[in-house]
Amino acid sequence: MFAPIASYERYLFPSTNRKMDHHDDEYHAGGELHNKPSDEEAVARLEEIKKSIEGKMALRQSNLNSERPDLDKSSIEHVLRQLRKLPWSDCESYLLKCFMKVQKGKYGHIHLLASLTTGLRRYRDEFAVAVVDEVLEEIRLGLELNDYVDAAEAHCSYAFLRTAIQL
């Protein structure tokens, strides 16, 4: 699973300018004379690096885990407050793109995204109008192309628009 100790040398001995002296127990690193780490210290350092790598991999795996908390009714108000705090002049176009990726999320969360759009309408009316305009444009484009492959995306757009209008 892990590479041999030799491949971890750069972590065990971080100095790139390492010159071995005529003494076996000392070496020059960065112009300074240091004691050469013992095998036990090197192995302990290697174990520390392995644990760090395993911890980082576990953290990444937990971030990719589908069981992490999703957007739900209890978090709508918090998310809405956080969205209102954003610098809208800088990130409005990015948020519009994110809101338009309805089909990337879960189908059951479409009403929550529509609820966020409706909540933002009170503070950013132009954003809500832009979202509805983009959804209508997607629907129009889907009807013109009449491509079966895009049917799921079109259905999500219809559901989003229907839910946003009902709210």
- Residue-level pLDDT at 56: 72
| Distance (Å) of CA 46 to CA 3, 4, 16, 39 | 11, 10, 18, 10
117, 98 Cβ separation under 8 angstroms: no
The token duo for 97 is: 């793109």
Written as one letter, the residue type at 165 is I
d(CA 148, CA 132): 23
Tell if the pTM clears 0.85, that is, is over it. no
d(CA 141, CA 83): 29
pLDDT averaged over the chain?
76
Residues ≥6 apart with Cβ < 8 Å to 54: none
Sheet with strand 32-35: strands edge to edge: 18-20, 26-29, 32-35
116, 76 Cβ separation under 8 angstroms: yes
Q: In the structure, what pLDDT confidence band is assigned to residue 31 with cuts at 50, 70 and 90?
A: low
CA 151 to chain centre: 28
Query: In the predicted model, what is the mean pLDDT of residues 97-110?
Result: 84
- Residue-level pLDDT at 21: 46
d(CA 119, CA 84): 10
Note the CATH number of domain 73-166.
1.25.40.180
Q: In the structure, what pLDDT confidence band is assigned to residue 10 with cuts at 50, 70 and 90?
A: low
| Percentage of the chain modeled with pLDDT above 90 | 3
Query: In the predicted model, what is the mean pLDDT of residues 83-95?
Result: 88
d(CA 127, CA 13): 54
Q: What are phi and psi of 106, to 5 degrees?
A: -80, 145
| Percentage of the chain modeled with pLDDT above 70 | 70
The domain ranges of the chain are 5-64, 73-166
